Amino acid sequence: MRGLGRVVVVLCAACGGGAPPADEAGTPAQALPDQVEVVKDEHAPVLHGYAQVPSPGETESALKQAGLETALHDVVPSWSFHFDKTEPNRVAVRTGVLLADLALGAGSDDDAKLLERLASVRAGLVALGVDSQMLASVDDLVERVKAQAIPRPELVGVLDRLAGVGVRQLEMQGAPQLVPLVQAGVWLEGTYCVGEAIKQHGDAAAADALLKQPAVVDYFLRYAQAQGVGGASAETAAVLFDSLGRLKAVADKAEPLAMADVEAVVAAADAVLTQL
């Protein structure tokens, strides 16, 4: 990712602290909305190993290498998430979903849609309590998009990196239990979009390479079993474990996946996403 410019420098620096950003006249930025309360359980089991979860950019690259004509940005759904007074686990998953949508859609979204996605991601990051320098990096991206001062290929790379930086911010700020939840949102949305792309392509030949991810499914299943589902309802918990079970069954198949398996993956991912 060489040559990503000033924004990547800001993103890498986001692991520090810093005062809230100010405008050119030196006026402090507006106060951030109230953050959701993040419960930092020192005894909660934390799973490390987020490197094994594919980023949106890696998912897009895998699709292209498989020769599918349908681009992921063509199947990215539209979500209208809210973060006010929302349970933090759900905020984390929602933010992951929006990070995936932002990265996957950046190559083709018009400026208005891109700015809308950036605003949604920023709201999620605020709710999760990332530091002001991280938020300033998002604000910088917004201004560069408005000024058409960043080429789209460069922006796509920056946004893919943003997803990873956001995850690491939570770990460094003492909320590592939320890390797998942000990752889960990124992964579930990517999985849903890949499945939809394969369905539109009409051929499941590439499904094994794109959808068989047993280590990733096991990672999230172990987390859900260890951490539980927080304040989720019994219905939501049942949907989550049922969907993860169906995803694991497909991922563990020894035989090549068929279109019915692809449809099962899409349905399982969608079942969780619609509970958000």
Is the model's pTM score more than 0.85?
no
Name the average pLDDT for the chain: 78
The average pLDDT across 140-165 equals 88
Cα–Cα distance for residue pair 126/183, rounded to 1 Å: 17
- Give CA–CA dist 185/42, Å, rounded: 23
Check if the beta carbon of residue 211 is closer than 8 Å to that of residue 195.
Answer: yes
**What is the band of 226 on the pLDDT scale with cuts at 50, 70, 90?**
confident
Contact 166, 141 (CB under 8 A): no
**Residue 23 CB neighbour total at 10 angstroms:** 9
Return the higher-pLDDT residue of 171 and 18: 171
pLDDT(20) > 50: no
SS3 of the chain: the string is CCCCCHHHHHHHHCCCCCCCCECCCCCECCCCCCCCCCCCCCCCCCCCCHHHCCCHHHHHHHHHHCCCCCCHHHCCCCCCCCCCCCCHHHHHHHHHHHHHHHHHHCCCCCHHHHHHHHHHHHHHHHHHCCCHHHHHHHHHHHHHHHCCCCCHHHHHHHHHHHHHHHHHHHHHCCCHHHHHHHHHHHHHHHHHHHHHHHHHHCCHHHHHHHHCCHHHHHHHHHHHHHHCCCCCCHHHHHHHHHHHHHHHHHHCCCCCCCHHHHHHHHHHHHHHHCCC
pLDDT confidence of residue 50:
46
What pLDDT, on a 0 to 100 scale, did the predictor assign at position 167?
A: 67
Phi, psi angle pair for 41, to nearest 5°: -90, 105
CA distance 54 to 43: 28
